Structure 1
Amino acid sequence: MHEFLVFTISGLTTAGIYAITASGLTLTYVTTGVFNVAHGATGMIAAFAYWQLRVGWGWPTPVALLLCVCVLAPALGILIERLVMRRLDGTSPTTRLMATVALLVSLLSAAQWIWDPSDFRALSELFPGSGFTVAGVAVPYDDVLVLGLAALVAAGLWALLHFTRVGVAMRAVVDDRTLTVLNGARPTATSRLAWAIGTSLAALAGILVAPKLTLSAIPLTLLIVNAYAAAVIGGLRSLPLTFVGALVVGLANDYGIGYLPKIHTGAQYLTGLVAIIPVVVLALALLVLPSSRPRGRPASRIREITPSPSWPAAGLLVAGTLLGAAIAVTTVTEADLFSSTQMWGLGIVGLSVVPLVGYAGQTSLCQLSFAGIGAVVVAHAGADGNPLSLLLAAAVTALVGALVSLPALRLSGIYLALLTGAFAVALDGWIFQLPAFTVFGHRFDLFGAGSLTFTRFHAFGADTAGTRPYFVFGAVVFCLVILGLVGLRRSDLGQRLIARKESPTACTTIGVNLRTTNLAVFTLSAAIAGLGGGIYAAGLQSATPETFTFVTGLTVLLIVVVAGVSSLGSGLAVALLLGTSSLSNAFGGDATRITATAVGLSAIALAANPNGLIPGFLRPAFAPVARAPGVAVAGLGVLGLLWAARLVDLIDGYSLVLGVLLLVAAVPVLAAMVAGSRLAARQDGPSSGTGGLPDGGLSEPLEWLGLRGQVGRADIAAVDRALGLPEVAHARP
């Protein structure tokens, strides 16, 4: 009984911390319609800032606490609302969710920049050594304070939302922003207040939980993420139910820590489960409890488009990729190329996001986890270098993806994202760590003694064991996946996926089976990720569970979204940013932090153009090249000269890279100048049946016509001809 009381008291303390942070998360979601994935990261930043003030600089505890919770945290919340969230109006829920993922990655990398992760840091409790005794069990005052604060926060927020004008305005803004403005509310002010309060509560929770563990950025961020389960039990709406959910999660967590290790039969298989009990509770809550209607009004003006890729454009992307691979193979040193062989596997994992998130509008946070499953299959089934193990990896991950998606068929939006995130954390923290086990007489040992080794593939006399052959092999498979996705986007299934993304209700009305469509795209996406995982791990030649962590998976997903989640070039962006040796050579051990920081900060560009950098900036910038083929041919000639100069050692590798970058920047500028002069000459002359353009086409792709500039007479003529209206083809605008 004494032991039970000890675990109960500690569980209530944990529940209090979860209740505080979950209340802030629920408040932000209820009042703004944005589920802040970075909520735990803001609490982590506050905990480090509190340590810096109290321990690093020796400030008094009350001053440091008040400054962090009442000044720094609200300021951070207002800054987030002002720079990011306010500018995301007219974007999809997926884009808004990815913006908060970007914040998480940015804050995480910023913390590791400011506070060296290798240094030991610890915080003492607010009232160390003080307390009282109940039934022979010591109860610290800190525990009572935490539980009291949690109850006070829940009651205060509930009263704020239901009995004050500003609280009612907060909830009303999400349902109908225009109507609240007509009734005298100020949506910007209420949103700012909600973010300030939510961030302050995350900061308070981070400071309270910090004394229970050594200050470390990633564990502290993910520990507060456990409060997501409490928020889901509350339906992401009800603050009283959120408080109850926090009690359930906190008690389940501490009872599990206390009693699961004492189970004698199979205890070794439950060790990892102890660390992810809140995640298990989250998954059960998502699957068992009815999901409430997602908050947030439908945007009246969506700024996101999903253009259909053409075969010629895909051919150019494939040709450019293979040309780049050929240049790298013949000019990069063996050591640098070896550290870059992983890029194609990571790129394929990035491509697996495109059909699921870009085409279908579904959100998955477990693509790198599927890649880990594929890597395990390749390691065990392809020990002799059989390339068929890649097909088996795709098949197995497709089956796992289907199994994961089956209970998720009734979920969408943030609920699906949380379920896939729970699956990723479960694999990361438990399944991949399991010791060997036997099922129906078959022995399974997922990661062996903690690391897997891989044999590169060989078949039909071709051997990819060497670094250069394997680099080419990975590039070819990457290009084949690109071509397959182009075919998917242009197929009937691709059209159904786009329709499902644009309006699920309309799809259901015309008889489209959304469950079958969701199952198909989830299965396909998992298969591609499994294939990429096998190629990725074989490029590394060894892998551990840490190779496929949840946080790394978030970085992959974020790069795809920033680059353009519906663009096939986003997979190449993942490959170049995460899989090459260039950053590691230039910045050494800081390369990962620099990549994460740059990608996280560039996600703010999603507010300016939610379509991503490739469709929103690069594709329009290079559009003039198609109208000035002479410039493109000249650019290829210069590239050939640079390549030849490197092969004969006239220039070094860095000069080659610099020359290629300058060439890539110069070609679209020159093409725009040439194409612009031609267009001006034709528009000044008499109108012709070709609409004033050399190829009779538009000055911009149809998806972008009118979005980036004025529509000219030639554009109108080209559109009229495409619509079969020759009688107005020469009308003046």
Structure 2
Amino acid sequence: MSSVLPFLITGLVTGSLYALAGLGLVLTYRTSGVFNFGHGAIAAGGAFCFYTLHTTHGMPWPPAMVLTVAAFALIGGPLLELLTRSLGAAPAAIGVIVTVGLFLAVTGVLNQIYGATIRQADQFLPEDGPAVSGVVISYGQMITAGIALAGAVGLFLFLRTSRLGVAMRAVVDNPSLVGLTGQTPARVRRVAWMIGSGFASLSGILLAPVLGLDATLLTLLVVQAFGGCAIGLFKSLPMTYVGGLVVGVAAALATRFLTSFPLNQIPPAVPFLILMAVLLVVPVRMLPGTRTLPQPLASAARPLNPRMSAGLGIAGLVFLLLVPALVGSRLPVWIDAMSSVCLFGSLALLIWTSGQMSLCQITFAALGATTMAHLTGNGVPWVLALLLAGLFTVPIGAIIAIPAIRFSGIYLALVTFGFGIFMQYVVYPTSWMFGQDLSASAERMQVGPIEAQTNEKWHYYVALTVAVLTVAALVAVNRSRFGRLLRGLAESPTMLGTLGLDVNVTRLLLFCVSAFFAGVGGALMSSQYTVSATSFNPIQSLLLVAVLGICAIAGTRLILTTVLAAVFFSIVPGYATSFDAEAQTLVFGVLAVVAGLTIANRDRLSAWLRREAAERAPRVAHGPAAARGNWTPPWPSAARSSEERELVGGRRS
């Protein structure tokens, strides 16, 4: 017992902080309908602000803690409510893009201000205390657990006894009825975001002395609260608190008993294993938001003329063929862009065509990269190894399709993100993938006397060929019967089922195809340069989603967004040498937030601009079209409302 007690105590204390963060996350999700993937970034921001006040400027820890939590609650809460106000009715993919962008933006700001190196935060709580069975339980641990318990009890009483708390519990079910009681739904949501932001910052402050001040690490550690939220079924606050304790204790006990490799890699992934297990076992009807009909992210772009599409494609291909003669020493940047085309194409097929979401796409690329390295290292021909690297990821894609059969939206995003973190901690270090040195490198394609290991131009044309074949395959899939089924899957899975089509088989094939192309992209990466496990960490999956979301401003065309995303992700940083990883995280995060909000409010912006044009048209133009304000906004309009369609139809008739 004495050997287990220290781990049990540590697990309870850490679990209390997971519970505190989880309470705020569930509260904001239930009141706003938006699951905040940036919740952990708020915790990291609170930890760094407290460090600045307490360590840098010497402020005593009690007022520094109160000031930090109050600032995040009173300032950050209303800002987050304003930021996410339009996302509750938007497609789930837009909510994921915006909150992932928030995650990246806050992390990028912290890295820009404090640097990417880990800082050691002083332990400001007392470390002495009584001994139980020879194990010292510090007063700091007692205070930490007490703060978390007090926050949980206070929140429970507030929701049960106060008028505002009761309205907060009802606002998700029917905001209009809440308004009839005299409470404004926006005010209720604002208070919920204030409480959630305060809880997140407080959990970050208390976790920092144990983990150190690292923005990414703190963010991911608070993300482990997702496991506690899953035990609470994303709706029960008491069970979320219990779930946080269960997650903390389970992870601590795993550290005690799983000591041999590779089992010793499991403890950090325990919260995500719990998350995936709960979502795969619990009946779908018990999870909030699963009974509502999915909202497809239909393409907001007008179809291009076939001749124009063909002309643009030919012109682009001619330019790419001339790239080696134009770019000089920047050629490796363009080779990297070819692998990015495969990777973004696999993700765009999921999100834009079928309305599904994946936050583990970089994991598929890692599988392809390591498989390519193993095969070419054992003498397998390059082309065959490339195909096998893509095919090897197909069974893993089929595994991910299992939760996609049960649900979509944020729950599928959570499962895929948890799977990516599990792979990083448990499978990446094994000999099946990167091995103990956490790196991999594949041979390049060799034909006749040409030695591709030293010929960048030859390898560029090989990568270009693979990218062009990938684009051609995506176009063929999009125009085929399977592509029509995918678009129908995004619009109405129920309708496909009533027509006698197997929706589950369609989802299974979709994830298998997507995983194949992602694996091919990863295989190209390992042929270009030596890749490391850090290049395929789960944060990169979030970055991919953010960049693809930015490109949706131009519409959700499959090929256009794929190419634009590859340009932004690979070519722009390759030429802007000062645009390092920290700057990319910040800029891509901010742009993803802006792009997501623009897409979510596209109809409102279009209507506002039409009204402005109608008011100004008589002064700047002549004719019946100007007088009516028959004006088209500079971007493609989203689907019109039924009233607007009737109005347009009446004018045409």
Match among 279, 295, 301 for residue 286 of structure 1: 279
Whether the 8 Å contact between 2:525 and 2:531 is mirrored in structure 1 is no
Structure 1 residue 452: Cα displacement: 1.6
Structure 1 residue 208: Cα displacement: 0.7
Structure 1 residue aligned with 2:96: 97
Tell me if 1:569 matches 2:560. yes
Moved more, 237-246 or 285-294: 285-294
Moved more, 7-16 or 164-173: 164-173
Structure 2 residue aligned with 1:397: 393
Call closer, same or farther: CA 1:491–1:20 in 2, change over 3 Å.
Answer: same
Q: What is the CA–CA distance in structure 2 between the aligned matches of 1:283 and 1:296, rounded to whole Å?
A: 16
Match among 355, 358, 361 for residue 361 of structure 1: 355
Q: Deviations over 1:327-371 (max 9, x none)?
A: 43212123x212442111122111111121111111111101001
Contiguous gaps of at least 5 residues in structure 2: 607-620, 626-630
Q: Deviations over 1:121-144 (max 9, x none)?
A: 322132x23322223321111211
Structure 1 residue 217: Cα displacement: 1.0
Q: Deviations over 1:606-651 (max 9, x none)?
A: 35432899xx99xxxxxxxxxxxxxxxxxxxxxxxxxxxxxxxxxx
Q: What is the CA–CA distance in structure 1 between the aligned matches of 2:639 and 2:350, rounded to whole Å?
A: 29
Spell out the pairing of 1:335-346 with structure 2 (5 A cutoff).
336-346=330-340
Whether the 8 Å contact between 2:37 and 2:96 is mirrored in structure 1 is yes
Q: What is the CA–CA distance in structure 1 between the aligned matches of 2:652 and 2:232, rounded to whole Å?
A: 60
Structure 1: which amino acid aligns with 2:85?
Answer: R
Structure 2 residue aligned with 1:192: 190
Whether the 8 Å contact between 1:45 and 1:111 is mirrored in structure 2 is yes
Structure 1 residue aligned with 2:508: 519
Whether the 8 Å contact between 2:69 and 2:201 is mirrored in structure 1 is yes
Tell me if 1:232 matches 2:230. yes
Structure 1 residue aligned with 2:29: 29
**Local SS of the residue matching 2:406:** coil
| Structure possessing the higher relative contact order (Cα contacts under 8 Å, 6 or more residues apart) | 2
Whether the 8 Å contact between 2:255 and 2:264 is mirrored in structure 1 is no
Structure 2: which amino acid aligns with 1:6?
Answer: P
Match among 266, 269, 275 for residue 262 of structure 2: 269
Q: Deviations over 1:539-573 (max 9, x none)?
A: 2x211111211111210121112212553222223
Q: What is the CA–CA distance in structure 2 between the aligned matches of 1:219 and 1:485, rounded to whole Å?
A: 36
Structure 1 residue 450: Cα displacement: 2.8
Structure 1 residue 187: Cα displacement: 1.3
**Local SS of the residue matching 1:379:** helix
Q: What is the CA–CA distance in structure 2 between the aligned matches of 1:268 and 1:424, rounded to whole Å?
A: 19
Whether the 8 Å contact between 2:17 and 2:203 is mirrored in structure 1 is yes
Tell me if 1:347 matches 2:336. no
Tell me if 1:9 matches 2:3. no
Structure 1: which amino acid aligns with 2:229?
Answer: A
Structure 1 residue 451: Cα displacement: 1.9
Whether the 8 Å contact between 1:305 and 1:611 is mirrored in structure 2 is no
Structure 1 residue aligned with 2:429: 433
Match among 313, 334, 342 for residue 318 of structure 1: 313
Q: What is the CA–CA distance in structure 2 between the aligned matches of 1:533 and 1:469, rounded to whole Å?
A: 19
**Local SS of the residue matching 1:609:** helix
Structure 1 residue aligned with 2:481: 492
Spell out the pairing of 1:291-306 with structure 2 (5 A cutoff).
291=284, 292-295=286-289, 304-305=298-299
Structure 1 residue 702: Cα displacement: 13
Structure 2: which amino acid aligns with 1:113?
Answer: Q
Tell me if 1:544 matches 2:532. yes
Structure 2 residue aligned with 1:596: 585
Structure 1 residue 45: Cα displacement: 0.6
Whether the 8 Å contact between 1:343 and 1:576 is mirrored in structure 2 is yes
Structure 1 residue 230: Cα displacement: 0.4
Structure 2: which amino acid aligns with 1:135?
Answer: S
Match among 520, 524, 537 for residue 531 of structure 1: 520
Structure 1 residue aligned with 2:55: 55
Q: What is the CA–CA distance in structure 1 between the aligned matches of 2:633 and 2:485, rounded to whole Å?
A: 26
Q: Deviations over 1:159-190 (max 9, x none)?
A: 33333322232233222333333443311111
Which entry has the higher C-alpha Rg, 1 or 2? 1
Whether the 8 Å contact between 1:577 and 1:595 is mirrored in structure 2 is no
Structure 1: which amino acid aligns with 2:268?
Answer: A
Call closer, same or farther: CA 1:548–1:610 in 2, change over 3 Å.
Answer: same
Tell me if 1:556 matches 2:544. yes
Call closer, same or farther: CA 1:431–1:607 in 2, change over 3 Å.
Answer: closer
Q: What is the CA–CA distance in structure 2 between the aligned matches of 1:89 and 1:7, rounded to whole Å?
A: 41
Tell me if 1:578 matches 2:569. yes
Q: What is the CA–CA distance in structure 2 between the aligned matches of 1:346 and 1:612, rounded to whole Å?
A: 29
**Local SS of the residue matching 2:137:** strand
Whether the 8 Å contact between 1:44 and 1:206 is mirrored in structure 2 is yes
Q: What is the CA–CA distance in structure 2 between the aligned matches of 1:699 and 1:304, rounded to whole Å?
A: 19
Structure 2 residue aligned with 1:416: 412
Moved more, 11-20 or 467-476: 467-476
Structure 1 residue 221: Cα displacement: 0.8
**Local SS of the residue matching 1:36:** coil
Structure 2 residue aligned with 1:468: 457
Spell out the pairing of 1:601-616 with structure 2 (5 A cutoff).
601-610=590-599
Moved more, 138-147 or 23-32: 138-147
Structure 1 residue aligned with 2:611: none
Whether the 8 Å contact between 2:32 and 2:172 is mirrored in structure 1 is yes
Structure 1 residue 54: Cα displacement: 0.2
Structure 1 residue aligned with 2:618: none
Q: What is the CA–CA distance in structure 2 between the aligned matches of 1:213 and 1:76, rounded to whole Å?
A: 24
Call closer, same or farther: CA 1:139–1:361 in 2, change over 3 Å.
Answer: same
Whether the 8 Å contact between 2:550 and 2:596 is mirrored in structure 1 is no
**Local SS of the residue matching 1:430:** helix
Whether the 8 Å contact between 1:74 and 1:196 is mirrored in structure 2 is yes
Q: Deviations over 1:415-453 (max 9, x none)?
A: 21111111111111221112x3xxxxxxx5644643222
Please give the TM-score of this superposition, normalised by the length of structure 2: 0.87
**Local SS of the residue matching 1:125:** coil
Tell me if 1:502 matches 2:500. no
Q: What is the CA–CA distance in structure 1 between the aligned matches of 2:45 and 2:136, rounded to whole Å?
A: 31
Structure 2 residue aligned with 1:452: 440
Structure 1 residue 601: Cα displacement: 0.9
Whether the 8 Å contact between 1:74 and 1:195 is mirrored in structure 2 is no
Call closer, same or farther: CA 1:313–1:484 in 2, change over 3 Å.
Answer: farther
